[in-house]
A = this chain, B = another copy of it.
Amino acid sequence: MIMNKGRLIVFSAPSGCGKGTMLAEILKDDNFYCSVSATTRAPREGEIDGVNYHFLTREQFEKNIENGRMLEYACYCDNYYGTLADEVDSKLEQGKNVILEIEVQGAMKIRELRPDAMFVFIVPPSIGELERRLRKRGTETDEIIAKRVAAAANELTYAQKYDYIIVNDALEDAVSDFRAVIKAESLKTEYAAEFLDGVMKNA
């Protein structure tokens, strides 16, 4: 069953769930594209416009907001961050499945704006395991880890608003689950109307 347009996939996970590793694996498949966020913060050394972020001036960003061209946005530390509708739609038109890697509040805004989107939430096997993973990195202080664990617990309360829950216990299984979800979504009857017409007509 050929789908001409890609699917919009909102992909969220608390910090420490291995989201980055999962995405790297998923993006090995050319049919997937991870949306690049827009921001007004200055590029850091080595960051490339259009790859790490779309770097916009405050005026450009606010114009996009006014024109309804931001699917979601938020302001942190005096800088805007958000998702450009044009960035997403142009890739969908090219037939790519577009992944939005965003946090729960942004995801809930997309839920209102885009009924075509599907929502996937990645969870750790347990909060205890998440804490162990964060500690294992060895890069954070106890205080930061406690904050991250509390943030993760808070984000998990949003999990129920997503369509699918995938546990990232073993990377391979989690990626395989993700692929099953994408495949099953493409087999949903609502995407098959055109195909069914073809079945009836083609001798």
Q: Give A contacts to B, CB under 8 Å.
A: 1, 121, 123-128, 131, 153, 156, 159-167, 177, 179-181, 183-185, 187-189, 192-193, 195-196, 198-203
Contact = CB atoms under 8 A, between A and B. Distances in A.
A160 B124 CA distance: 37
Contacts of A128: 202-203
A124 B203 CA distance: 11
B202 A189 contact: no
Nearest to A187: B164
Nearest to A162: B189
Contacts of A177: 183, 187
A126 to B, nearest CB: 4
Q: Select the residue from A159, A183, A189 with max chain B CB neighbours within 10 A.
A: A189
A163 B165 CA distance: 20
Contacts of A167: 1, 195, 199
A193 B128 CA distance: 18
A160 B189 contact: yes
A22 to B, nearest CB: 14
B165 A1 contact: yes
B166 A200 contact: no
A189 B159 contact: yes
A187 B182 CA distance: 12
A199 B164 contact: no
B180 A163 contact: no
B189 A163 contact: yes
A203 B127 contact: yes
Given A127-B203, A184-B181, A184-B184, A196 B156 contact: yes
B196 A165 contact: yes
A142 to B, nearest CB: 16
27 contacts: A1-B165, A121-B189, A125-B199, A126-B198, A126-B201, A126-B202, A127-B199, A127-B201, A127-B203, A131-B203, A156-B200, A159-B189, A159-B192, A160-B189, A161-B189, A164-B187, A164-B188, A164-B189, A165-B187, A165-B196, A166-B187, A167-B195, A177-B187, A179-B180, A180-B184, A181-B183, A181-B184
